[in-house]
Every structure is written in structure tokens, then in C-alpha cells.
Structure 1
Amino acid sequence: MENINQQAKELIREHLTFWELAQVNYAALEKVQTRTLEVNGYPVILQFNPERIRSSAAKIDKQSLAARPCFLCEANRPGNQRWIDFGGEYQIMVNPYPIFREHLTIPIRAHQEQRLFSRYKDILSLAEVLTDFIIFYNGPKCGASAPDHMHFQAGNRGFLPLETNWRKARKEVVFSAGQATLFALRDFLQPMFVLVSADKEDSVALFNHLYALLPIRAEEYEPMMNVLVWTEAGQWITCVYPRKKLHPACYYAEGDANILISPATVEMAGVFITPLEKDFRKVTSGDLQQIISETCLSAEEMDQLISKSKSYFL
């Protein structure tokens, strides 16, 4: 188990020698154009990445999902794609449409819906062994392009602005239990929670309490959220982004008002993917701020949730 991190890195290197799709797309990643903007006083990166159009424009309604073969199921994968077994249920694979220079997809074997509640401990276990990676989760209505098949993703450390910038933000302690503390960040890119814990079980207990407090829409089975986890100095760092919307209005707009940015976990963490060059050229800090404000909680909604959280924990 202790070699999983190195095995994952080697898996990527191997695929770049024999899998043409991965070769082409990882080579293209070296040439992607980027711009640095500022939102709420924090730096964010705009990345022009045409290959991500598959994710940004993915149709995830029930009819569309039923009509296509699931690309995460083993039977539908390319014959030369390999993986690393983890924990008896997960399979660590190379993501052939990368955002990171080292990008993994980690599905379960069975075809089951995207749902985090009973699997949060699994993401902690993955972060524990994939020490050079950040593990992340897109909710079924929060950026997952395969919401019908449970999976995580992982990307190399040092790429997402979140990793360092969250420490600079003003934090409020919501609750502490054992070796775990839940913080609220109000003045970051968008309102969010950060759970810091030196104990896995304490982290699970606190996360489950937070999960239970998040609203679930009548037609859904899980609160809208994006989650990232990594380990640092003997602690698990879990960032939870409560969401209220999948797409901003500009995603559906026509003409010059259209901006094809579909915010998922990577965007929440400060890297905005633009698959269309027109958007990469024209997007402003104000556009990104508007996208965040429409898809994430407002300051007032965050205050209400924090108040509710404190009452619940007390």
C-alpha cells in the first residue's frame, strides 16, 4: 500500500509511451495557454484547454446517461488502458483528458451512482497513500461528467491556488471534536468549509455532521457540493464547497453573453477551465465573480448555515 503513490506516477508515465490518446492530450497540456486574474483579492488561473469540452459540455440528464455506454465501466474502457487496484473496490486510472500534468480518475468497479456520504473515509484513505496528489470529488450535479458511476479524481500537488491560499483567508472555528476542527471561510473566492484533522475517525464524524446539515433539493439524493482532500504535516485537509446551482446563467446564454464555463471542483479551487478560445480571451475577473456568486452560497446563506451548524454541534 505504501507504494501506491509511486505506482500511480509510473502508471501515468507508462501510458504516455503506449496510449496515443494520453500521449496527444498530455503533450497538448504542456502548450495550454493560461491567464492569471484576481477574484476577491485572491489569484485564480484561467486555462484554455480545448480537450475539456467533453466535460464542460457533457449532458448528464437521465436520458443522455442511459443512451451512452459508461466510460468508467471496465467493459467500455480502451483495451490498452491499465489500472491499479486499491482497497478491493477502487481502480486508479490515468485520466486521458488532463487538467493536471498528473491526472488520475479513481472509479469503483461496480456501476453505482455518485454519492459521497458513505465513502468519505475512502477519500481520506486515498489521500493518505497518494501523498503527491490532491483527491477531489465532483457531486452528481456539481461537475461530475459521469454521475451514474461513483468515482474520485486526483491531481498533482502544487497546481491549485487553493492549496496555499486557503491559509491566508480569515477563518472562523465552527466546531472542534477530538483531533478535528471545522472552519468556515467567508471571505475566500467563495464561502466554504475546511476540516482539519489528525485523526481519520474524528474527521469522518465531523464531516458526517456537516453533510447532514447541508440542504438536499427535493429531486436529488445528495447535497450539492465539491470536496477536495490532501494530507499535510500529519493532518488531513478537507475543503467542502456547498453549492446551489450547477451552471451559471452565462452557460446557457446566447451570442456574446455566452461563456462556456461549467464550474466543478477545480474551478472552486481556483483554476477555471475554458474549452473555447473566445471565452479565454474575453473572460474578466467580474465574469468569474458572477459565476461563483450564482453557483455557490452567498455570504448570507453561509451565515445561516454556520449558525445552523453551531446550534447543531452544541
Structure 2
Amino acid sequence: MRDIDQIHIQNSELEPFGPVTDPGSAASALLLQQGKTWPLLSGNYDGLNSVRVKRFSFDGFSVKVQFNPGRIVSSSAKVDAKSISERKCFLCRENLPAEQRGILLDLNYLVLANPFPIFPEHLTIPHLEHIPQAITGAFGDMMEITRSLGSRFSLFYNGPKCGASAPDHLHFQAGNRGFLPIESELSHLVTTYGEPVPCDEALSVHAVDDTLRRYFVARSGSKDQLQLFFEAYYQAFDEISSTGEEPMMNILAWYDEPVWTVLFFLREKHRPSHYFREDEGNILLSPASVDFGGVCITPREKDYEKMSTESLREIFSEVSLNREAFSEVVKRTSIPLHL
């Protein structure tokens, strides 16, 4: 096993690649350092220069579709229990490539360069221990990591049944702020499609149904208030889903001092019927946090070419929680008004 000291990269090694004043700037420097020393990473980042992108307009918001062949491994990953048990965990430090280095965070997480990028700067942030992907018990960590990375990055979480390619190992991902359309469109979306949810004055919560996605938007400068909302929302969603497993969700968060913005996308299922079709309607698109944020990844050119406003509506309609169930979750989400 590689010792953590062999993986953790010191600031002195990062400083030639840019100022290192906080975890966010260190992460940016790490990506540059890894690009110089890890051929797989540098090759896949070079590939980002040739990705093709087209934009589809909906009612007051947009969705980009990106043709990115480098994401075929993630998009087609087998995440059933048998497949997971038969492969080595690629997030455990003993299985990391020899070239891969990272930044150790105080909360027992390691900041790594994602070798199959979507963003110009794309990070994977696994827990040091091999523990299951589960947001209960880790939501507070997510908020702390979001604050640590600051205004450079948005953080996201894919649930074990809806987008995590390593559902057996707790991890987050992060990418450049401003890359996802929903970040710049959020104020309009909340104003146009959002309904306020009663909560403490130190917290703002809206339930949003923008005709494509259904989600909560929570904003606060208090991590405790966000934790209270998360617990209330999780309990309500868990009651509705009643599967005995984590309710299907994707979470996107960013931090503008002193306020966190957190989006909780509620899911009906992991993959749409298009994914499994055996005719011309087959589309290899398996939406996760980035897709819900407004950038849909197609690793095959034929899927990129055939993508349309109609097919996007169909796909998101299938994977998003249905309107009736979403209304019930909103109704059941009872947020304590005082700490």
C-alpha cells in the first residue's frame, strides 16, 4: 500500500504551478502539476479541447450537451453489486496510479485530479477510508469541503444508485464555478418556478419544478441551519421512497462567503429507458449531478447528433421524481424554526 505521505503533495511542490494560499488555489496548482507528470491526465485534458457542445433552450433556462468520448468509462460503468465486488476500488489509495498525487484535507479526505474530466478543472475527493457512498453522516463534511475550496469550485455528490461510479467508496467531485448553466440561471429559476418553504430566517429554502427537474434550493450562512434542512428533507424523501436504501438524489453546492447555496435534485430512477433501448432510440446518457446542473455528457457522437429538446425532456421526465411525489416530499419537509 502506498503510504499517505507518498500520495500527499507538499505546497513546496505545488508553488511552481501557481500561488498556494488555500485549498482552492492548491487544487488548481495540483491539476497543473499532475498534467505535467501524469500522461493519462494530460492526454484526457488535451481531449477537452476538441469536445463539441450545443445548447438547447427551455422556458427561461438552458441545457448544454457535450460530446466527450473520454467519459465512456464513467457513462457505461457497471455499478451492480456483483460488478463492484469483482473489481478493485479505484478510489482506495492502494489502487491509485503511481503518478497520482493529492492534497490531504483535515476531514480525512484526499483531493485528487479526475483523470476523465468534464470541467476544465475537475477534482475527485474520496474519503481516506473505504466506506460506502452515503450522504447521511457526510453532509456536514460536504459543506466544510465546499467552504474550503471557496469561490473557485462547485462541489457535487452523486448518490450510490444515481451516478456514483464508485458506490462502495464515499467521495465527492468538484469542478470550476460557472461551468454549469444552473449556477448563473438559478435566481431566475427560483423566481419563476420556485415556491418558498417555511423555515428559520437564517435559512432560505425553495422547492423548484422548472418543468425539467425537481429540486430544493437551500441558502444559508449557517451550516447548522443547512444541516437541519437536510435532515428534515431526507426524512421526508425517505418516507416517500420507502426502499430501505438512500433516496435517489444528486447534490450540488457552492460557497460565496459567508453563504452556502445547495441544490438537492430528487430522482425517480438512475437510467432512462433510452439507455436500454436496442433500436435507433438508444442514447447512452445516464444523468447525474453535472447533467442536472445543465451539462449533459454524451460519450458517443451518434447520441450527440440525435439529441434534441424533446429527447432531453423525455430523459429528465423519466429520471426526475414525479410531480405528485415531489409535492408530497415538500409537504412533509418540516424544518425546525429554531436551533
Q: TM-score, normalised on structure 1? A: 0.96
- Match of 2:121? 102
Distance in 1 between residues matched to 2:123 and 2:113, nearest whole Å:
5
- Residues 39 and 288 of structure 1 are in contact (CA less than 8 Å); yes or no, is this contact kept in structure 2? no
Structure 2 residue identity aligned to 1:58: A
- The answer to whether the 8 Å contact 2:60/2:188 transfers is no
Partner of 1:190: 213
Structure 2, unaligned runs of 5 or more: 1-19
Task: Quote the Cα distance in structure 1 between the aligned partners of 2:304 and 2:325.
Answer: 30
Matched with 1:28 is 47
Q: Which residue of the partner structure matches residue 112 of structure 1?
A: 131
Are residues 1:73 and 2:92 paired?
Answer: yes
State the 1:202 CA deviation.
1.1
Give 1:1-314 correspondences, 5 Å limit.
Answer: 3-131=22-150, 132-169=152-189, 170=192, 171-187=194-210, 189-215=212-238, 217=241, 220-309=244-333
State whether residues 48 and 277 of structure 1, in contact with CA within 8 Å, keep that contact through their aligned partners in structure 2: yes
Q: What is the identity, as a one-letter code, of the residue corresponding to 1:10?
A: A
Q: Deviations over 1:13-65 (max 9, x none)?
A: 00111100010000111210001112344211000001111111000111100
- Aligned equivalents of 1:155 and 1:220: distance in 2? 31
Q: CA deviation at 1:179?
A: 1.3
Q: 1:72 to 1:220 in 2, by over 3 A?
A: farther
Q: Deviations over 1:96-138 (max 9, x none)?
A: 0000000000000111110001111111111111111000000
Amino acid across the alignment from 1:77: L
Aligned partners of 2:25, 2:113: CA distance in 1, in Å?
A: 13
Offset at 1:302?
1.9
- Aligned-partner Cα distance in 1 for 2:35–2:129: 27
How many residues get paired?
313
Structure 1 stretch displaced more, 218-227 or 145-154: 218-227
Moved more, 18-27 or 183-192: 183-192
Contact 1:2/1:129 (8 A) holds in 2 = no
The unaligned stretches of length 5 or more in structure 1 are: none
Alignment partners' CA distance in 1, 2:329 and 2:66: 32
Q: Distance in 2 between matches of 1:66 and 1:300?
A: 36
User: Secondary structure of the equivalent of 1:130?
Assistant: helix
Task: Measure, in 2, the Cα distance between the counterparts of 1:234 and 1:269.
Answer: 22
Q: 1:218 Cα deviation (Å)?
A: 5.5
Alpha-carbon separation, structure 1, partners of 2:126 and 2:21: 20
* Residues 274 and 283, structure 2, Cα contact 8 Å, conserved in 1: yes
Counterpart code for 1:115: A
In the TM superposition, residue 191 of structure 1 has moved relative to its aligned partner by 1.2
State whether residues 166 and 188 of structure 1, in contact with CA within 8 Å, keep that contact through their aligned partners in structure 2: no
1:58-99 per-residue CA deviation (whole Å, 9 max, x = no partner) reads: 001111001110000000110111010112410000000000
Structure 2 Cα separation of the partners of residues 161 and 249 of structure 1: 25
Q: CA deviation at 1:220?
A: 4.6
Measured in 2, the distance between the counterparts of 1:2 and 1:56 equals 35
Amino acid at match of 2:32: R
Closer, same or farther in 2 for the Cα pair 1:220/1:143, shift >3 Å?
A: farther
8 Å contact kept, 1:42–1:189: no
CA drift at 1:219: 5.1
SS at match of 2:132: coil
Residue 292 (structure 1) shift: 0.5
The Cα shift of 1:297 comes to 1.6
Q: Secondary structure at the match of 1:293?
A: helix
Give the TM-score normalised by the residue count of structure 2: 0.89
Q: Is the 8 A contact 1:244 1:295 kept in 2?
A: yes
d(CA) in 2 for partners of 1:188, 1:253 = 24
